[in-house]
Amino acid sequence: MIEGINMDKRPIGIFDSGIGGLTVAKEIFACLPREDIVYFGDTARVPYGTKSPQTVKKFSCSNTKFLMSQKVKIVIVACNTASATSFGKLRAEFPSIPIIGVIGPAVKLALMCTKNKKIGVIGTESTISSNAYLKEIRKFKSNVSLFGQSCPLFVPLVEEGWIDRKETLLIAKKYLTPLKRKKIDALILGCTHYPMLKSVIKKIMGKGVAVIDSARAVAEKCKKVLEEKGLFNGKKRNGWHKFFVSDNPLRFKRAGQKFLGRKIDKVAQIDIG
Amino acid sequence: MIEGINMDKRPIGIFDSGIGGLTVAKEIFACLPREDIVYFGDTARVPYGTKSPQTVKKFSCSNTKFLMSQKVKIVIVACNTASATSFGKLRAEFPSIPIIGVIGPAVKLALMCTKNKKIGVIGTESTISSNAYLKEIRKFKSNVSLFGQSCPLFVPLVEEGWIDRKETLLIAKKYLTPLKRKKIDALILGCTHYPMLKSVIKKIMGKGVAVIDSARAVAEKCKKVLEEKGLFNGKKRNGWHKFFVSDNPLRFKRAGQKFLGRKIDKVAQIDIG
């Protein structure tokens, strides 16, 4: 990129059902420090993972509309359930802006990692039953097997802060044992909350299994799209980060710090209803 | 009641954040078989227990407005979080109609059961931090101690159908041990999901502790109010039961049967947004 040419001062927009997407935001902040960023967490309607595709599509559209009102130049769907159910719909409804989901980057990484061509994916009920990961894999490979497992208790466990407890280990064993038996050698964390449980998951799956957290891959994909389309900010100073939520900001501030690894100062509440 | 006098053909309205309120509906169906009933489960915005009082108030008002549009004669708030945070607001906003919450009836029952004047209450984060149960107790008794404990994983465990699992027992022990140590002799199940875990809870608390499920008490309170205000239906045949939800009805039908103990036939989806 030649500075001054093809620059775009508008912020990057990110949305998630709540705080989970902050694991993605954290990587985008690190990867694109000069960019201004608007993050929206739909904390009044969280979670998405147990709701129907139709309802998640409706929520994803209203979230994207909000980000558009903030004049963003690109939208990152930092939520697996929204990516799995609503990606096509969002691209059709908002053709004027690039939209990046979390599924494509995770699948590319998993395909690079697997040697025995057996990949596992864990996620919410809606994500797993959408078959979105399998559809994405089939775009590139027909000889790779995918084994899915929904883990509905992982999000509440993370939200409750029960990261290192024996109860969490027991529940994780229950969910992951069927995947272990399939002898997968790559496991996609198909929910933005799950990186918080990475050490427990690694412990159960063992060293031979690559545990794939798509956050970094999503950030790199975002960088690549901005570069290709000439949308870099071109600032010399660090960008600002604005946070919006649909429920009271207090809980988001408190819990979000664990996901982001730093303090969250200002969070504004909006009415998304 | 003298039949034919002071009768009111309008249905009873019940709302909950989702399926939990069906434990209350079940008792109302049994207690008032001649009444027509409209049940609304706000499955698109569930759960309420981790959301702020302001947001739950907003949701409770929109749910009540929907029930009013169905021309109900009484509103049952079959959700502890909504009762704890929004009961006063609902009474003020909808003065034309009697409104019954789940907290008053549960407290009356607990006060009748306790001998050592030490009561426990378990519920969602919002219910426990609202102090609504203590405020209700203080209306009648100043010499009764109340010990609260939020159990955020109970709702996801019930929704996942993990009723009799060892993981559930372990988690329940973790939550309930502090209350056991306080030597309470009555425990209020302050969430309409929790009756599904009654046997696990009883096992941990032991025989000396009365486990109080308010559903029956709420149904009796409803009957009493209808009688006092001359609002009985007066039908000779059994009433009809209509179910509405804000997300896709499939999950509600499937999971709701466990709560209601019978098949749910027709469920309509409405846009509450």
Per residue in B85-103, pLDDT tens? Answer: 999 999 999 999 999 999 9
CA-based nearest distance B16→chain A, Å: 15
Q: Where are the alpha helices (DSSP H) in chain A?
A: 22-31, 53-69, 80-93, 103-113, 125-130, 132-138, 154-159, 166-181, 198-205, 215-228, 249-260
Out of B61, B151, B191, B222, which one is annotated catalytic?
B191
A214 closest CA partner among A92, A48, A77, A89: A77
Same domain, B32 and B76: yes
Contact B122, B150 (CB under 8 A): yes
> How far apart, in whole angstroms, are the C-alpha atoms of residue B261 and residue B251?
15
Interchain contact, B170 vs A167, CB within 8 Å: yes
Return d(Cα B79, Cα B192) in angstroms, integer.
6
Q: For position B265, what pLDDT does the model report?
A: 87
Mean pLDDT across the stretch B20-25? Answer: 96
DSSP state of B43: T
Tokens of B98: 């009697």
What is the mean pLDDT of the segment spanning B228-250?
95
CATH number of residue B78's parent domain: 3.40.50.1860
Give me the DSSP letters along A57-86: HHHHHHHHHHHHHTT-SEEEE--HHHHHHH
Q: A109 by DSSP, 3-state: which? A: helix
pLDDT of residue B1: 46
Integer angstrom CA distances of residue B74 from A199, B12, B107, B206: 51, 5, 21, 37
Q: How many domains does chain B have?
A: 2
Active site residue A191: yes
pTM of the model: 0.93
Tokens 């709420």 -> residue: B218
pLDDT tens per residue across span B147-203: 999 999 999 999 888 999 999 999 999 999 999 999 999 999 999 999 999 999 999
Domain final position from A169, A197, A213? A213
Say if CB B218 and CB B193 are below 8 A apart.
no
* Residue at a domain's end among B213, B245, B261: B213
Shared domain for B153 and B173, answered yes or no, is: yes
Rounded mean pLDDT for each run of 10 residues along chain A, 273 residues in total: 70 97 97 97 95 96 98 98 98 98 97 98 95 97 98 93 93 97 98 96 97 94 97 94 96 91 94 84
Q: Which residue has the higher pLDDT, B243 or B254?
A: B243
Query: A187 lies in which domain range?
Result: 103-213
Residue A4 forms part of a structural domain: no
**Residue B1 counted as domain residue:** no
Which helix or strand (DSSP H or E) is residue B99 part of? strand B99-100
> Is A133 within a domain?
yes
Cβ of A55 within 8 Å of Cβ of B248? The answer is yes
Report B:89-128 residues touching A (Cβ under 8 A).
none
Please indicate, yes or no, whether residues A77 and A112 belong to a single structural domain of this protein.
Answer: no
pLDDT of residue A210: 98
Residue percentage of chain B with pLDDT more than 90: 93
In a domain, B4, yes or no: no
Q: Are strands A186-189 and A210-212 parallel, antiparallel or unpaired?
A: parallel
Q: Which residues from chain B sit within 8 angstroms of residue A151, using beta carbons?
A: none
Helix (H) or strand (E) holding B112: helix B103-113
| Chain B CA closest to residue A272 | B273
- Residues of B within 8 A of A46 (CB-CB) are 50
Instruction: Tell me if residue A113 is catalytic.
Output: no
B136 and B206 inside one domain: yes
Tell me, yes or no, whether A62 lies in a domain.
yes
Judging contacts by C-beta atoms under 8 Å, the chain B residues touching residue A153 are: 153, 156-157, 160, 162
In this structure, the answer to whether residues B120 and B89 fall within a common structural domain is no
| Same structural domain, B111 and B157 | yes
Hey, are the CB atoms on A152 and B159 less than 8 Å from each other? yes
- SS3 state at B198: helix
Q: Which of B52, B167, B174 sits opposite A247 (nearest CB)?
A: B52
Residue B244 pLDDT > 90: yes
Interhelix angle B80-93/B103-113, rounded to 10 degrees, is 120
Long-range contacts of A261-269, Cβ-Cβ distance < 8 Å, separation of 24 or more: A261/A26, A266/A242, A267/A243, A268/A242, A268/A243, A268/A244, A269/A244, A269/A245
Mutate to test the interface with B, among A45, A130, A272 (most CBs of B within 10 A): A45
Domain annotation covers residue B6: no
Which of B55, B153, B251 is opposite residue A44, by nearest beta carbon?
B55
A101-122 burial, b at 16+ Cβ within 10 Å, e below that, comes to: bbbbbbbbbbbebbeeebbbbb
The reply to whether B21 falls in a domain is yes
Chain A's closest residue to B168, CA to CA, is A167
Burial class of residue B10 in the structure, from the number of CB atoms within 10 Å of its CB (0-12 exposed, 13-18 middle, 19+ buried)? middle
CB B234 within 8 A of CB B6: no
Q: Which residue has the tokens 């799209």?
A: A225
Q: Are residues A121 and A204 in the same domain?
A: yes
244-263 of A, contacting B, C-beta below 8 A: 246-248, 250-251
Residue A230, domain member (yes or no): yes
The SS3 of residue B34 is: coil
Q: Give the model's pLDDT for residue B159.
A: 87
Domain boundary among A213, A229, A245: A213
For A62, nearest residue in chain B (alpha carbons): B273
Q: Least CB-CB distance to A171: which of B46, B50, B167?
A: B167
Task: Give the chain B residue whose CA is nearest to the CA of A151.
Answer: B160
Predicted pLDDT of residue A159: 87
Residues B112 and B209 in one domain: yes
Q: Is the pLDDT of residue B41 over 50?
A: yes
Q: Which pLDDT does position A249 carry in this prediction?
A: 95
Same-domain status, A65 and A158: no
